[in-house]
Structure 1
């Protein structure tokens, strides 16, 4: 896994305060999709706690109709409620799954916390069954910590 190298590259992106937070997050999406062979769609969703909805932010990959997701719906919506990482090794066996593409086989969602509040999440779809390991979770938790600092 190339996480050590990706961490170094991501640190450079996060440190570029000449770019907006949104621009840096878009660069992170590209870095992750291009750097990890089984990350086929990488994006951020951000919470609106008043409407209890998630709103799509920067992403790379196939276009999605899922630009607004209610809390509790799908994997992302469940993470907005549970505040926990959610790894789905095989989306076919997940009851509350929102299909974005017929090619998606697995998904991982990790929340972003700012001042103790779940403000969003990184969502990664893979076209490979069961590709995610604890190393992915650990790396993505670090990514989310860095995103929180630039928000």
Structure 2
């Protein structure tokens, strides 16, 4: 992490539970996660009964798949497992849905309700193989617990 994780988590919590446009709050959270982790792209997604849909993202461009079936891709795998999926080299994982040709590593962290239902996901992409450290994974896991306000 490039800065103090506790300060960033507190800022993310403030944004998640603040008033205002949900997409704008989600975009601000995605940008904080992207900058602090030095990631190339970060997106936040809603998870419905049959579709996963992008709420907001930050990085060079919009995702190639802004919506897709809940059983597809690494997002779908994380939703099905109700657990994070971290792939350090997407070229070796057939579940990867190509969003950007330069993505080499991707991490998906589900956001869970108090009852364990998957509400959404944090999707982080990197143009480096082995981009996610244990510290990155711990930070992203903490983020999932403080952004639930986006689904209130």
Fold match by TM threshold 0.5:
yes
Q: Alignment length, in residue pairs? A: 147
Deviations 1:30-76 (A, max 9, x none): 11222222x11101111111xx1101111112222211121221101
Pairing partner for 1:57 from 35, 55, 58:
55
Residue 24 of structure 1 and its aligned partner are, at CA, apart by: 2.3
CA distance in 1, matches of 2:91, 2:8: 34
Aligned to 1:105: 104
Aligned to 1:120: 120
Aligned to 2:88: 89
* Aligned partner of residue 81 in structure 1, secondary structure: helix
Deviates most, 119-128 or 24-33: 24-33
Q: Is the 8 A contact 1:10 1:28 kept in 2?
A: no
CA distance in 1, matches of 2:96, 2:6: 30
Aligned to 1:18: 19
What TM-score do the two structures reach when normalised by structure 2? 0.88
Specify every segment of 5 or more residues in structure 2 that has no aligned partner in the other structure, as ranges: none
Aligned to 2:76: 77
* Aligned partner of residue 125 in structure 2, secondary structure: strand
* Aligned partner of residue 112 in structure 1, secondary structure: strand
Specify every segment of 5 or more residues in structure 1 that has no aligned partner in the other structure, as ranges: none
